[in-house]
Chains A and B, each alone.
Chain A
Amino acid sequence: MYIDELMLFGYRGIAGIVALVLAALVLRSNDWREQLYAGMVFVPFVLRALGVK
C-alpha cells in the first residue's frame, strides 16, 4: 500500500471521528444554535469520511 493511500485512510478516519463527535453534540446539546451549527458542520465531515469529496 502506498503512503498516500495510508494518509488518505487516516484522513478519512479522523473526519469520521469528528463527524461522530458533531452528531453527539447535535443530540446532547440544549442550545438550538449549537445543535444547528454542529449539524451544518457534520455534513462535510461525513462526506469526507465516506470519500465523497
Chain B
Amino acid sequence: MTAVIRGWLILAAAVAIVWASGTLFHAMQEREPIYPGAGVTRIAALSDYVPSLRGTAADTPVYMLEGRQPGPTLLLFGGTHPQEVSGVLAAVIVVENVQVERGRLIVIPHSNQSGFTYTEPLEAFPHDFEIPGASGARRFRLGMRLTNPLDQWPDPDIYVHYPSKEPLIGSEARNLNRAYPGRADGRYTERLAHAVLTLARQEKVNVVLDMHEAYPEYPIINMIVAHERAFEIGTMTAVALQARGIAMNIMASPKNLHGLSHREFGDHTQAQALLSETANPGMGRFRGRTDATLIVEGKDDNYVAAAKLKRLFVPFDASGHPLSSRVARQIATIEELLNAYNDANAEAGFKLSGLPEYDAVRTKGLGAFLASAR
C-alpha cells in the first residue's frame, strides 16, 4: 500500500470518528419533549421573568396549570439536579395529567437545563433511559448534578456563596441548589437561580417543592426538608404519608447551610419552601453495573449486601427501589403537601384532579401515566 492511499484511509477513519462523536454530542443537546395535558393553560419560559436568559442554555419552559377559581400557587421543580430522575418524571407526569380547578401549579421539569446535556466523565453513566408504555417507549435523558462545564467554566478553587459568603468546594459553583438566591450579574448558575427566584416572587408563590434524589448510603433520603415557615405543613405531610404506609420523614432546613432552595426561597420569598428526597441506587458509590436498567429498575446486589451490613439509611432488598416507586413517592408527597396546605389555611385551598394514585403508579408503571411519544 502506498503512503498516499494509507494516508487517505487514516484520514477517512478519523473523519468517521469525528462524525460519530459530533452526532452524539449534538444528540445530547436536544431537549426531550414533554406533551402538555389538558390542564396546562399556558407555557411560559424562565426568560419571560429575566429577559437576559433568552437564547441561553439556562432558559427552560415553565408550565402553568391554572384553575378557573383563584387560589394559592404551588411551584414545583424537577431537574434541579438532572441525575435525580424521580423528580423530573414526577414533574412531567404532573404536566401531562393534572387539571387544576382552584389555585395554580407552576411546574419546571428541567430546572437546570444545562445539566441534562452531559454525563459525568469516567462514571460510565448511560446518556438516557426508556420508560415502556402502551404505545411505545418514552426516552428520557440522564443528566448530571451540576451545570455543564461548557456553560460555566472554570470552577474556582473555593466557591463563595452570594450573599452569605459561605465557602464551598469550587465545583459547587455549578450546583443550582447551592446558588440561590442567585444574582442577575453572576455566572450562569447564579443567573439561573436568580431567574427562578424572580419567578417565585413575581407569581406570588405560596408553596415551593423542589424534588430530589440521593444515594441509599446518604442519611437524608425518603425525607422532606422544610424551612421553618413550612415546618408545620411539612410535618403534616410526613405524618399523612406515614399513615398511608409511605415512610417519609421530616427534617428542618439548617439555618447555616446556604444556597439551597428550602433555605433561600423561605428566606427571600413569601413562599413556604420544602424539598423532597427519594433513594436512587444509580447515584451511589456502592453501585455495580451502571446502566439504564439500574436507573429504571433500581436493583443492585451491592446495595442488598450493604443493607445486610447496616450501611444504608433505607431498607434495600432484591426488589430494589424502582423508578416507578420513587416517582410514586414524589407524587404522593405533592398530594399530601397540597392537603396539608389546605388544612393549615382557612382560605380556599388547592383543588385539582388527575394526580395519579401512589399504588397505581407503583403497580401500573410510569408508562401508564406518560403521554405517547409523538
Contact = CB atoms under 8 A, between A and B. Distances in A.
Interface string B13-29: 11101100110011000
B25 A32 contact: no
Contact of A35 (B3, B18, B21, B22): B3
B189 to A, nearest CB: 17
Contacts of A43: 14, 17-18, 21
Interface string A10-43: 0000000000000100111110100110111011
A26 to B, nearest CB: 5
A27 B22 contact: no
Interface stretch (B4-12, B105-113, B341-349): B4-12
Given A36-B10, A39-B11, A27 B21 contact: no
B11 A42 contact: yes
Nearest to B23: A52
Nearest to B24: A52
Interface residues of B, number: 16
B21 A47 contact: yes
B21 A28 contact: no
A51 to B, nearest CB: 9
B22 A47 contact: yes
Given A39-B13, A52-B25, A27 B7 contact: yes
A43 B21 CA distance: 10
B18 A46 contact: yes
Identify whether the interface residues of A are mostly helix, strand, loop, or mixed. helix
Contacts of A30: 3
* Most chain A beta carbons < 10 A, residue from B7, B13, B25: B7
A28 B7 contact: yes
A42 B14 contact: yes
Given A30-B3, A35-B6, A40 B14 contact: yes
B11 A47 contact: no
Contacts of B17: 43
Contact of A23 (B3, B11, B13, B21): B11
Contacts of A23: 11
Nearest to A27: B7
Contact of B10 (A35, A52, A53): A35
A6 B3 CA distance: 39
Contact of A39 (B3, B14, B22, B26): B14
Contacts of A42: 11, 14
Given A26-B10, A27-B8, A39-B11, A52 B3 contact: no
A11 B26 CA distance: 20
27 contacts: A26-B7, A26-B11, A26-B14, A29-B3, A29-B7, A30-B3, A32-B3, A35-B3, A35-B6, A35-B7, A36-B10, A38-B10, A39-B10, A39-B11, A42-B11, A42-B14, A43-B14, A43-B17, A46-B14, A46-B18, A47-B21, A47-B22, A47-B25, A50-B18, A52-B18, A52-B22, A53-B25
